[in-house]
Amino acid sequence: MSEKSAVDPLLCPLCEQQNHCGNLGAGESEKTCWCNDPDIQFPKALLDQVSVDKKGKACICQKCARAFSQTDDVSIYIPE
């Protein structure tokens, strides 16, 4: 058995709460996720906060994305 724990694609890699991902939801292949909105962008500074082992494996939740967008200083961003 691997010592590495599996990444849950339905948990935000920052706050570890449900990310409500419409892309990865069980049996919801017809549903479009909120993050597919062309007006939503994930700044590199926010994506850089995701640990290497979770990059590309779990979506950042809407709450963390909004919280980050309300500050210009990455160093003071702390997800609830």
Q: What would the pLDDT profile of 9-64 be if each residue is shown by its tens digit? A: 889 999 999 988 877 655 555 667 778 777 777 888 889 989 999 998 888 988 88
* Residue 50 maps to a domain: yes
* Residue 54 maps to a domain: yes
pLDDT attached to residue 68:
84
* Residue 23 maps to a domain: yes
* Residue 1 maps to a domain: no
* Residue 2 maps to a domain: no
- Give the integer Cα–Cα distance in Å for 12 and 79: 10
How many domains is the chain partitioned into structurally?
1
The answer to whether residue 76 scores a pLDDT higher than 60 is: no
* Residue 25 maps to a domain: yes
- Give the integer Cα–Cα distance in Å for 30 and 69: 29
Structural domain boundaries enclosing 78: 7-80
* Residue 59 maps to a domain: yes
More confident residue, 73 or 6: 6
